[in-house]
Structure 1
């Protein structure tokens, strides 16, 4: 579990293609988040929870992760190149101040930046889901949470029909995250608020269960009356 408060920006130093099984990716300039790292630890990279398989603390620090095909298909990590910058956050600890929101590191979809407009010392970004991810829109609520490339942000606008939503990136955050360097046409990773997933998902399951109970009861009554 993560908070969506980016700790550090690391650099992609090497990408190893593992044939049809995915990629290994190595990140450098990572020393600030390696002081307590262990093999098997989780680090959120641009919003995707990945497992550390190797690390070293010399020469600025590095760590390696493996990316499965599912991760490459669901996120923008398949398009990053050596030299790209990425947001990093270690898994939250029990004594961490919970300043963001509950982030699982499970990217739901990518979205495209369709607007980038300065607003005072803030930047307003507008994103759009692809047509086949329209089902995610009910999980976005104005003034609710959304995770963009691993960054916990507040939704300022939601347009269901257009599959669009927006955030305002304040000056402080602009210095801490990779979104600042992205512009219209670029693709970002999106994780909707997991609380909404549980609420709406539970409602759907409860409705389905009630329907099954009602159907079974109707069938039982009809059989008892010899109508089936």
Structure 2
């Protein structure tokens, strides 16, 4: 579990393709340097969020650490596009004493999104994102949270639909702390939506399914009642 508050920006120093016949299963091993600020209390097996993706530390020293990235993770995230010298957002998993300044982030990427526009607004920047999977838009609401490359950000605008998008604003301080500020139109970011929306959706769906008891669905009754009331009001 993470907070979405990026601690530092690290640098990819090496990428190594893993043998398909070995334990790596054909994934990639990443070594990330310039990470000394988060390795003072590191242990093998620790979880570190790399661009919003929860990965396991397999080796480390005072300034760098290594993680393995499975093929499925490469397909579902932007980690497959990393190169030597790429910068990445880093955050350690939460501890009992961590301040929850962002929101609950799992490090499980839901989809990737492309940057469709970057608009200056004073010393801030407004980024508009279009998701590869439009279905995630139902979990994104104005003034709600969304995680972009591991950074917890507030949604400022959202447009639903197959061609939908959402926007976030990066203030000057945030621009210095996350990799997103250096990205351009056409670049991709990892996206994790707020898990609260998913739990609410499942709970509501379960309630209506369980309450139907083989009769007409309660939701259908509610809709019919609202339609009847509306028709009566129009008739007057």
State TM-score, norm by structure 1.
Answer: 0.89
Structure 1 partner of 2:65: 63
Given the alignment of the two structures, is residue 171 of structure 1 paired with residue 172 of structure 2, yes or no? yes
Stretches of structure 1 lacking an aligned partner (at least 5 in a row): 216-228
Given the alignment of the two structures, is residue 192 of structure 1 paired with residue 197 of structure 2, yes or no? no
Structure 2 partner of 1:8: 8
1:28-107 counterparts in 2 under 5 A? 28-57=33-62, 61-107=63-109
Deviation for aligned residue 1:18: 1.1
Distance in 2 (alpha carbons) for counterparts of 1:137 and 1:187: 17
Distance in 2 (alpha carbons) for counterparts of 1:112 and 1:206: 36
Deviation for aligned residue 1:191: 0.3
Render the CA deviation track for 1:106-158: whole Å, top value 9, x for unaligned: 1000000001010001000000012xx12111100000000000000000011
SS at match of 1:118: strand
Structure 2 partner of 1:221: none
Deviation for aligned residue 1:201: 2.0
Structure 1 partner of 2:115: 113
Distance in 1 (alpha carbons) for counterparts of 2:206 and 2:115: 33
Structure 2 partner of 1:218: none
Deviation for aligned residue 1:166: 0.3
Distance in 1 (alpha carbons) for counterparts of 2:116 and 2:181: 14
Structure 2 partner of 1:135: 135
Distance in 1 (alpha carbons) for counterparts of 2:114 and 2:92: 26
Distance in 1 (alpha carbons) for counterparts of 2:113 and 2:34: 27
Given the alignment of the two structures, is residue 148 of structure 1 paired with residue 153 of structure 2, yes or no? no
What do you get for the CA RMSD once the two structures are aligned?
A: 1.1
Distance in 2 (alpha carbons) for counterparts of 1:97 and 1:163: 33
Length, aligned pairs only: 209
Deviation for aligned residue 1:97: 1.1
Render the CA deviation track for 1:48-73: whole Å, top value 9, x for unaligned: 0000010001xxx1100011111111
Distance in 2 (alpha carbons) for counterparts of 1:84 and 1:64: 15
Structure 2 partner of 1:203: 204
State TM-score, norm by structure 2.
Answer: 0.86
Deviation for aligned residue 1:208: 3.5
Render the CA deviation track for 1:173-200: whole Å, top value 9, x for unaligned: 0000001110100000000001111111
Structure 2 partner of 1:222: none
SS at match of 2:15: strand
